[in-house]
């Protein structure tokens, strides 16, 4: 089995690419969704989050208070490191389990989708990494339409991510999301063939 990371800046088309991979028979591990789930459900993660950021990290119903946590983490490097130390090893362990399960199930390609892969050193544990890239103008339009947020909010998120040139330089493969979904799908099909045939 081959493992492939799929990453890219906000709104570049990562999820779209992953849906195409799924249609072709790949399995996708959505790392960011798994991180959210762990912070909510994993007893050890909850305990460590409370120890690090206080009981106000969860509301009276036991739900993670994302807004509160964001105020503690945003722009505070030490707290970013603390939360990453709680969440990353658990996501990594969940990925290892997903890998074993995919192998047992005879899956040819397991995709690891995450907004940050290189930043977290995750590429070391993957056979290859594909970066999805689209123009800044398209990304701004797609995300403002999808999430009902302002361009300034999307730009603020972009400013905290690795620049596209850096992502492209570090990628093993670049998927060009130039606007045509059919063209993007063809690139995904070619990459799937290439990775699966080489197994």
Q: Which residues bind ligand ATP (CB under 6 A)?
A: 8, 10-16, 115, 142-143, 146, 177, 179, 181, 184
**C-alpha distances out from residue 161 to 27, 40, 63, 81, 122, Å:** 26, 25, 27, 16, 15
Q: Which is nearer to ligand ATP, 13 or 122 (CB)?
A: 13
Dihedral sign, Cα of residue 141, residue 123, residue 4, residue 174: positive
- Which run of H or of E encompasses 25? none
CB of 122 to ligand ATP, least distance (A): 16
Q: Which is nearer to ligand ATP, 53 or 191 (CB)?
A: 191
Q: Which is nearer to ligand ATP, 11 or 86 (CB)?
A: 11
CB of 57 to ligand ATP, least distance (A): 23
First to last CA, the chain: 6
CB of 187 to ligand ATP, least distance (A): 11
């Amino acid at each position: 089995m081959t493992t492939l990371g799929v990453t890219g800046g906000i709104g570049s088309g990562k999820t779209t690419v992953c849906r195409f991979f799924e249609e072709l028979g790949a399995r996708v591990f959505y790392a960011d969704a798994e991180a959210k789930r762990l912070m909510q459900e994993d007893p050890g993660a909850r305990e460590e989050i409370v120890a690090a950021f206080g009981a106000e990290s969860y509301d009276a119903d036991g739900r993670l208070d994302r807004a509160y946590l964001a105020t503690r983490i945003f722009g505070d490097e030490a707290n970013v490191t603390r939360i990453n130390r709680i969440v990353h090893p658990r996501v990594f362990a969940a990925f290892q389990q997903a890998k074993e399960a995919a192998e047992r199930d005879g899956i040819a390609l397991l995709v690891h989708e995450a907004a940050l892969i290189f930043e977290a050193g995750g590429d070391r544990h993957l056979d290859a990494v594909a970066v999805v890239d689209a123009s800044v103008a398209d990304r701004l339009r797609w995300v403002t339409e999808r999430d009902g947020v302002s361009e300034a909010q999307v730009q603020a998120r972009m400013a905290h991510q690795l620049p596209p040139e850096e992502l492209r330089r570090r990628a093993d493969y670049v998927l060009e999301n130039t606007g045509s979904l059919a063209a993007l799908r063809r690139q995904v099909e070619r990459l799937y063939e290439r990775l699966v045939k080489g197994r």
